[in-house]
Structure formats: C-alpha cells, structure tokens
Structure 1
Amino acid sequence: MVKQERAARTRQKLIRSAAEVFDREGYALASLTTISARAGVSNGALHFHFASKTALAQAVADAAALRLRDIVAQPPAGGSLQNLVDTTHQLARQLRADVVLRAGFELGRDAGRERPTDVCGHWQDWVEHLLERAAGTGELRTDVSTLAVATAVVATTAGFEVLARRDGDWLSRQTIARFWELLLPTLATRELLPALKPHGTH
C-alpha cells in the first residue's frame, strides 16, 4: 500500500511538472529531462510511469478534463444562461490559478502532433448543450442561433486564455463581465435580461 501511494504521488508530481513545462515552453520544446528534474525524480522513474512525452501529455490533458468537469458540474444558481455566465467566470478563475487546466487547453491547440484529450472540445460541447437547454426553456430570443453563440463563447474564452499569458487582466472578472454585458442583450429575452448578472452570482 505504501509503495502504491508513493507511486501515485510520483505520478501526480510528474503530471504537474509536465503541465508547468508545457505551459511555459509549449509541447514541442518541452523535454522529458526538464520535466523529470522539475519533479525531482529520475528519467527512469518518469519512463516507468509514462512511456513517452505523448503519453505524459495525454495524462496532463486527462487531468485537465477532470478539472473542467468539476467546474461545469457545479450546482447552478439560476437558469441556463446565468449558469453559463457563472461558469465562464469560474473557468477564468481556474485558468488563472491552475497550471494543469491551462496546459490542457494549450495541448489541444498544438496541431503539430497527435492531440490528446480535447479539453477545449469538451468545453464547447458543454456550452452548446447549455445553450440548447436555454433555448428549450425559452430563455433565448427566437432569432438566436445556439451554434453561433456557442462558437462565440468558446472562441472568446479560449482567446482570453491565450492573451492572459501576457496580461492576466484578460481573465479578470471585469473582462469576462464586459463580454457578457455586450453579448447578453443579443441573446436573452426582454423579460429575462434585467435579471441576468454579467459579473456572475458568486
């Protein structure tokens, strides 16, 4: 049992170290030697857990996908549109704080290799599902295309994450709120709009 716990800790250290190196240097430039040294383990220990850099990237992406799942699974504070607003704020906070989540999004953009779990694709699927639910419950204007809105939301949140690598204000609460102040009047019904909170409910 102790040996298994030690192995699990080593694996998690390697995943976090890989995420930090992928986040800082990108997948192509990241070396397994740098990752193992950052984790404080030998190259042999790294290869015991992960046969290749691709396998390690897959583990990072899987861990990021689990973090995203936890974000979108939080109990909603209101209807589907408010839930979407709140979740984008939570995603932005987690992207600022969690290097594994950031690396998961970064790995999905790396077209120069076989891609691992598509974290951004999971985000898009969830956004589309929530917008379809909002349409079904009458929260959206009748002329709104849920697919077009989902594309705008996903492209914007992913773009903010890229821009925040140079300036963290792109993932600030104020920036996300300004986006929703601009978008919500084009989506929500006239009756619902006054009740929506672009800054989020928590």
Structure 2
Amino acid sequence: MTKQVRSEHTRARLVRSAAELFDQHGFAGTNISDITRVAGVTKGALYFHFQAKEELVEAIQEQSCAKLGTAVAALEGESAVQALIDLTHTLEGWLATDPMVRASFRVARECADRGAPFLDFSVSWSAAATSLLTKAARDGQLAEDISVPLVVVTVLALSVGAESLCSSGLPGMDSTTLLADVWRLFLPGLVGETRVAEFVPEGSFRPIPQD
C-alpha cells in the first residue's frame, strides 16, 4: 500500500469514526480524543487531515450531499411527485442504516445557529424537495392553491421526525410503513383526490443508489 493510499484510508476512517460519534453523542459531546480512539490513529494523524472538528463536519456533509445528488440524478425522468416520494423513502433507508446521514442531520439540529457546514445536507435536501415540487407545480401535478414553500417545510419536518424515530431506537417502529401511511394521508391534499391513484406511497421501487 502506497503512502498516499494509506493517507486516504486514514482520512476515510477519521470521517467515518467522527460520523458515528456525532450520530451517537452529538457534536458537543464528541472530542478529538474520542475520534482518534475509535479511528485507531494518533492525534497527529488527525491534525494532518483536519485542523478542527468543524472540518470533519464539513467532510461528513460533503459525502452526504454527494449521496443525495446521486439519488436525485437517479430519479431523473420520474414524475416529480413520485420522485419526491421515492426520495423520502431513500432518505428513510439511509437514516436507518447510515451514520453519515444521521450525523449530518444531528449536527444540523444541534448547531443550526452556526450555519455552514453544519446545515449543508439539510440545505441540499431542502433544495432537492423545492426543485421537485416546483417541477410538479409546473407540470400541473399539484392541487390548486398549494404553497410549494409550505409543502417543503412539511417534507423537512417529516424528515426530521424520521431521523428522531431512527435515533430513538423505539422497538416496533416500522418507519417505512409509517412513511407510506403519511404519504397516503398527505397525497389527497397535495395532488387532489382524483390523482391519488397515480402515485405509489410506498415508493416506486426504482433502483436508487444506497451507497
């Protein structure tokens, strides 16, 4: 293994370890010693790549945003409302399995007043939802007098709620089924009763990248 490859592996371990700890303990509840211990590296190795915890947050957010971008691109050509439904299910899957995405949400929830990079993934998620809903309105998919900004806020609240459920570890919580039920409740007001059957609240099961 070359020195460059070893360095890249070390950086990746640090980012992953920081994400796991931020997910479990929050930004303030995690210190540099915790990160180096979990990553199995020295503080010198950490400071070679990152000068502060904020830079680790930035790296985590970059990876989460890139993952979101890939998922959005995979839905190109899908009807905008169905794409949004599918994207919320994809996000739910990430929240259940990916500490990187969970950490992105948690640091945003805890450090929103600090702006970037803490809010980067949340801003990207909001932008993706806004773009899809704007397209849905332009394509005539939404019911009359629907406020796109209001729906975006609702979708964001739904996402934060999903993250809280995943973080709580409550037994017997099937978040996928719950999300589908929420869409069943939400769709008549969003698209109108006559168009509800056009959409699949459980997600359309298109292959969206999970990694």
Q: TM-score range by the shorter chain?
A: over 0.9
In the alignment, which residue of structure 2 is the partner of 1:164? 166
Specify which structure has the bigger relative contact order, considering alpha-carbon pairs within 8 angstroms and separated by 6 or more residues. Answer: 2
Distance 1:112 1:197, change over 3 A: closer
Partner amino acid for 1:100? M
Deviation at 1:113, TM superposition (A): 6.7
Q: Does 1:78 align with 2:83?
A: no
Corresponding residue SS for 1:165: helix
In the alignment, which residue of structure 1 is the partner of 2:24? 24
Corresponding residue SS for 1:142: coil
Deviation at 1:77, TM superposition (A): 6.8
Partner amino acid for 2:147? S
Deviation at 1:194, TM superposition (A): 1.2
Count of paired positions: 202
Gap runs ≥5 in structure 1: none
Distance 1:93 1:139, change over 3 A: same
Report sequence identity in percent: 35
Q: Does 1:201 align with 2:204?
A: yes
Q: Which moved more, 1:129-138 or 1:167-176?
A: 167-176
Q: Which moved more, 1:191-200 or 1:2-11?
A: 191-200
In the alignment, which residue of structure 2 is the partner of 1:154? 156
Q: Structure 2: how far apart are the matches of 1:63 and 1:183?
A: 31
Distance 1:141 1:112, change over 3 A: closer
Distance 1:137 1:198, change over 3 A: same
TM-score, normalized by length of structure 1? 0.93
Distance 1:67 1:170, change over 3 A: farther
Deviation at 1:188, TM superposition (A): 0.8
CA contact (8 A) 1:161 1:171 kept: no
Deviation at 1:13, TM superposition (A): 0.5
Q: Structure 1: how far apart are the matches of 2:48 and 2:164?
A: 33
Q: Structure 1: how far apart are the matches of 2:112 and 2:200?
A: 40
**1:110-131: per-residue Cα shift (whole Å, max 9, x none)?**
2377341521111011101110
In the alignment, which residue of structure 2 is the partner of 1:43? 43
In the alignment, which residue of structure 2 is the partner of 1:145? 147
Q: Structure 1: how far apart are the matches of 2:112 and 2:133?
A: 32
Q: Structure 1: how far apart are the matches of 2:156 and 2:173?
A: 15
TM-score, normalized by length of structure 2? 0.89
Partner amino acid for 2:187? L
1:47-196 aligned at under 5 Å gives the runs: 47-76=47-76, 78-111=78-111, 114-115=114-115, 116=117, 117-167=119-169, 172-196=175-199
Deviation at 1:158, TM superposition (A): 1.4
Please tell me the root mean square deviation across aligned C-alpha atoms, in Å.
1.9
Gap runs ≥5 in structure 2: 206-211
Deviation at 1:26, TM superposition (A): 0.5
Deviation at 1:141, TM superposition (A): 1.0
Q: Structure 2: how far apart are the matches of 1:180 and 1:77?
A: 21
Q: Structure 2: how far apart are the matches of 1:106 and 1:69?
A: 20
Partner amino acid for 1:11? R
Corresponding residue SS for 2:167: coil
Q: Structure 1: how far apart are the matches of 2:164 and 2:194?
A: 35
Distance 1:130 1:112, change over 3 A: closer
Q: Structure 2: how far apart are the matches of 1:171 and 1:64?
A: 23
